[in-house]
Structure 1
């Protein structure tokens, strides 16, 4: 798991008197060099003074005489540090995170990390306070099952779940879990009305990786709601506006595959149904809908109404 790997990297770097190459570190931990470089960024954000020098004779080391405080961290402090803020606070580790950071900073000659604040939720999104988060955390840490009442499209229903991991995105918590005999699914934690621990111990599916699962789940969800194929032409200068208005891998892929000339680009973009598509496209300067014709007419009507209202 990633948390265990980060701890291993701290221990390996702290125990060495000289640099180690990314390839050597990757080989020892049985991961790719790309994973190692991603981990170095995580360690830096945690306050660990990692130095990476490129070129012949270069490598990875810790700054100066910094000594790893991992050995004196409690389990909660270590977990909170690896989870990070603001997720750790939601999980009840705010105090543990504060004390862990203090221990790390006492061993670091740099206070740069104190000048950085990570604020998870979006500007206009209300922060959720899911009631069952504590029970879910207990289930994950003790490898227990859960009996939950989940509010879905068909109302509140009882479900038995094997929890596999938690994801927080823009202040909203999601539970990756597997129903008996089923495949892993994603559940919005705020929609869990009640949760009780079940079973003495559960074994997760072999080789389950939370990051890989979440990446795939996002792609599947994006594809499930964006079923309308829209052909657009817009100024190249407005590509960033399109990406901000309709974010996601599908939009990025459409832009990368688009036909571009000097000033404009034509793309085939999967979008949500008509009304939502109109609401999104009307905010993109210079966009032109080439097809379908109904969406083009609806966008014209919306834009004209707005123009007449503000004349």
Structure 2
């Protein structure tokens, strides 16, 4: 996915003698312009000398006669560079990444100074990143197309699984294995809950039509839907919709704002006020989240409205 796309971008830019616009590059690779700009920043960070020119005839190109050193990278070095520093370190590719960076930096006109101005910090604030022991075996299985057997803990229950690994995902420092049992559907496994892992079968056949990126997006939405079951109707100003998104992140919030927020009044400052239907986790979680949204009004249910008012009065009494 991203790794293949970055390689494609280097190949396209290396083959061109004239700049190409971000829009044209996005159309060629079937992604958004925002994705292209993020990729270009990542390529610059690892030393690829990206040049951008504005105005008619402008676009993106490579500096001077720079040529890609990708042919000089080993498979592990290429994997390490394209995965990024956090994932490469967790997967035991730190040395390969250092070697790859040295090779790229030695290329003519490599912009190594720019890389020192960028810090990549994947995990969320206050979240300790994981480096589960099972990752090494999972990577071996993915590369050699082997199956896996392991003990998986869910709550207090444990069960041995035999699966075909389909990919890995890392979110906020947490690693997840996407795999399927033979004849079953793909599932997501938290890698830190995997124990007693080993390789199985000489060759595991993966479904040819499986797309890891699409599956992961659906899995995130499914998790969001599973925990958000309380229907709540809100009224708030359009100016505070971004505050709502920050307080209650997730695809369901974005869909609620895009699909159900409707103007029904004008606020005292001239801005618009609208009504919004949204699903939240529980009454207590809803109250805690909504307290951080300026000017929010709960229309229903009454229990959320009453507890929000009570909490607000308590805070006013203590801080007034």
Fold match by TM threshold 0.5 = yes
Q: Secondary structure at the match of 2:203?
A: coil
Query: Closer, same or farther in 2 for the Cα pair 1:59/1:303, shift >3 Å?
Result: closer
CA contact (8 A) 2:22 2:36 kept: yes
Per-residue deviation at 1:309?
4.1
What's the counterpart of residue 265 of structure 1?
Answer: 274
Per-residue deviation at 1:254?
1.6
Single out whichever of 289-298 and 32-41 deviates more from structure 2.
Answer: 32-41
CA contact (8 A) 2:48 2:110 kept: no
Measure the CA separation in 2 of the matches of 1:243 and 1:33.
Answer: 24
Single out whichever of 225-234 and 31-40 deviates more from structure 2.
Answer: 31-40
Single out whichever of 132-141 and 237-246 deviates more from structure 2.
Answer: 237-246
Instruction: Give the structure-1-normalised TM-score.
Output: 0.89
Query: Closer, same or farther in 2 for the Cα pair 1:45/1:212, shift >3 Å?
Result: farther
What's the counterpart of residue 134 of structure 1?
Answer: 136
Measure the CA separation in 2 of the matches of 1:21 and 1:285.
Answer: 41
Q: Secondary structure at the match of 1:203?
A: coil
Q: Are 2:287 and 1:278 aligned?
A: yes
CA contact (8 A) 1:22 1:33 kept: no
Instruction: Give the structure-2-normalised TM-score.
Output: 0.86
CA contact (8 A) 2:45 2:114 kept: no
Per-residue deviation at 1:113?
2.0
What's the counterpart of residue 194 of structure 2?
Answer: 192
Gaps of 5+ in 1: none
CA contact (8 A) 2:138 2:165 kept: yes
Gaps of 5+ in 2: none
Alignment length (residue pairs): 309
Single out whichever of 88-97 and 100-109 deviates more from structure 2.
Answer: 100-109
Per-residue deviation at 1:33?
5.8
Q: Secondary structure at the match of 2:121?
A: coil
Measure the CA separation in 1 of the matches of 2:24 and 2:240.
Answer: 44
Q: Secondary structure at the match of 1:4?
A: helix
- The 5 Å alignment of 1:249-264 reads 249-257=251-259, 258-260=261-263, 261=266, 262-264=271-273
Q: Secondary structure at the match of 1:86?
A: helix
- The 5 Å alignment of 1:1-311 reads 1-19=1-19, 31-32=29-30, 34=32, 37=36, 39-51=39-51, 53=53, 57-58=57-58, 60-107=60-107, 108-110=109-111, 111-153=113-155, 155-257=157-259, 258-260=261-263, 261=266, 262-310=271-319
Backbone CA RMSD of aligned residues: 2.6
Summarize deviations over 1:216-264 as a string: whole Å, max 9, x none: 1111111121111111112333322211111112112222231234243
CA contact (8 A) 1:51 1:61 kept: yes
Per-residue deviation at 1:152?
1.2
Measure the CA separation in 2 of the matches of 1:33 and 1:174.
Answer: 24
Q: Secondary structure at the match of 2:48?
A: coil
Measure the CA separation in 1 of the matches of 2:171 and 2:86.
Answer: 11
